[in-house]
Amino acid sequence: MRSLILLVGLGGVVLAPTRADADPAFLGIGLDSTPSTSGCRAMSITDESAAAVAGFQTGDAIVTFAGVAIPNCASLLSQIANHAPGDEVAVEVTRIAKRRPLTVTLTSRSEVTQRRMVGRKLDVPLIGLGDDYLDPIVFDRTTIAVMASSSCMDCTYVTSKLAHR
């Protein structure tokens, strides 16, 4: 059964799907949009993502993913979509003109967001208040969610999880 949570934030209203398949596999690289026939180049690596943990580096060109040749970024995205968070995948990259094998365990975007946020000090410059200034009793019962726009997928996930508590 599909359920939705209505989230209202700065800049819009978001319907957040709550099914497990709403949080697909996530590698964690920024893709080079330059057309290519020799792999998909990583322009950036998301901190604490599957790619970061596996040892991907900026500039790596992914040439195979799960045994499938990757001629361009569109084919990489298609291959990632065929997998689920938790899948272990053999990947081959070209780095400084040498092919290197890597093994990556795919995560989900929400898992990466959780790794990056949980247990970290929250600074909220918008209202000039950090979490270390909030009364612990109030903080245990209060959640403040500020979303800059309706396109913030990580914000939607976090807020939807909090709504189920």
pTM for the predicted model, two decimal places: 0.61
**Strand duo 61-65 + 4-9: pairing:** unpaired
pLDDT at 12 over 90: no
**Token output for 91:** 């990947």
Which fold is adopted by the domain 25-108? Pdz3 Domain (2.30.42)
Domain ranges of the chain: 4-22+110-163, 25-108
pLDDT category at 75 given cuts 50, 70, 90 is very high
Where is 129: in which H helix or E strand?
strand 129-130
pLDDT at 84 over 60: yes
The answer to which of 4-18, 48-62, 98-112 has the lowest mean pLDDT is 4-18
Beta bridge partner(s), residue 130: 123
| The pLDDT value given to residue 100 | 97
CA–chain centroid gap for 52, Å, is 12
CB atoms under 10 Å from CB of 156, counted, come to: 22
